[in-house]
Amino acid sequence: MICIVCRTKRTLVFVLFFFFFYLSQDMTYLCIHAADASSQNLSQHFKESIRFIHECRLNGGACLVHCLAGVSRSTTMVVAYLMTVTTYSWEECLSAVKAVRSFVGPNYGFQQQLQEYQMNQVTEYRAWLRASFRPSPFKDQEQVGVLLNQYIEQQQQENQRRGGDQGWMNQASSVYPLPYNAYNGSGGNR
């Protein structure tokens, strides 16, 4: 289950599956059922989640996006949001998230959905966001860029610590090597 919780000055975004938490009357919730399975279609919920997160940020709230393990579903939603408010690709946004939470990694199906979102919808969603909300005071493009550089530095340091090139092991962990346009909007694991 995905629950997005909004509260003045504190906005909590929960991505949950069989997870119980205290429900406060001074918060607004958006709950979406979502399993951590490659066949789960999270992309159908991107727009409402992006809208909710962005609206809360514009109204002075802070966001916490979480799921039961904090690894796959929540990360997918954060990456989709970052892709929408910046011009970065899904891989770059995922790397930026890994700079502050190194063990995250959407499952294969969620990565497929992020790639499809990048290829087929993100431009439309960016235009929708600009048309639907006042101009953003945030420096998201710059901040994601800083995190991306931080991630690259972390990977270089890890490589040096390990004593050189480890080949495929130095790629972004938990990212499957998806060829460009691998899914081309057809078939797939949805």
Between these two residues, 63 and 89, which has the higher pLDDT value?
A: 89
Residue 56 among the catalytic residues: no
Distance, CA of 76 to CA of 69 (rounded, Å): 13
Handedness of CA 175, 176, 181, 186 (dihedral sign): negative
Question: Which residue spans within the chain are E strands per DSSP?
Answer: 2-7, 10-15, 28-32, 63-66
Residues 19-51: pLDDT tens digits? 445 555 556 676 778 999 999 999 999 999 999
Asked if residue 36 lies in contact with residue 72, where contact means CB atoms within 8 angstroms, the answer is yes
Topology given in CATH for the domain delimited by 2-159:
Protein-Tyrosine Phosphatase; Chain A (3.90.190)
Asked if residue 16 lies in contact with residue 2, where contact means CB atoms within 8 angstroms, the answer is yes
Catalytic residue among 3, 56, 67, 93, which? 67
What average pLDDT does range 93-99 have in this prediction? 98
- What are the extents of the domains in the chain? 2-159
What does pTM read for this prediction? 0.80
